Amino acid sequence: MKNTLFWIARLLLGGTFAVAAAQKILDPATFATDIGHYHLLPYPLTAALSLYLPWLELICGIGVLCRWRERGACLLIAAMCGLFFAALCSAWWRGLDINCGCFGHSVTATDLPLAIARSLVLGLLAIFLFRKSQPTNRTV
């Protein structure tokens, strides 16, 4: 039962990040526009983020799914979820009517409170998996 719970948690966290990343990798220009709607970063950073962040999400998602560098992947996902949470809260607080950009444009309308809750749950799930995964003592 315990292994099943961890497997489901890994599938949910890693799968969500891998699928979300794939949508954004296919259309970085739209993702850059979505990031720009937050009005938090200058354009050069927005453009760079739209190109590199989805690949980081994909690598971390695959890392969690395959249990490859799982602790590092979970730590990075938790950090990303914290940043996503802060950006989403900022947008909601300022009354912005935007697409969160979480899954590219596969989702046309975004309920920001739902996106905030999703980011919080995924971040907590990443922390849970980080704490429960065993550190490796391998030397390279």
pLDDT digits 0-9 by tens, 88-120: 999 999 988 888 888 776 555 568 899 999 999
Does the residue 138 lie in any domain? no
Per the structure, the complete domain to which residue 108 belongs is given by: 2-132
Q: Mind spelling out the 3-state secondary structure of the chain?
A: CHHHHHHHHHHHHHHHHHHHHHHHHHCHHHHHHHHHCCCCCCHHHHHHHHHHHHHHHHHHHHHHHHCCCHHHHHHHHHHHHHHHHHHHHHHHHCCCCCCCCEEEECCCCCCHHHHHHHHHHHHHHHHHHHHHCCCCCCCC
Does the residue 140 lie in any domain? no
Does the residue 53 lie in any domain? yes
pLDDT in tens, 38-78: 999 999 999 999 999 999 999 999 999 998 888 999 999 99
Does the residue 139 lie in any domain? no
Does the residue 120 lie in any domain? yes
Residue-level pLDDT at 68: 86
Residue-level pLDDT at 132: 84
Does the residue 110 lie in any domain? yes
Total domains in the fold of the chain: 1
Does the residue 137 lie in any domain? no
Does the residue 7 lie in any domain? yes
Per-residue confidence band for 22, with pLDDT thresholds at 50, 70 and 90: very high
Could you tell me the pTM of the whole model? 0.86
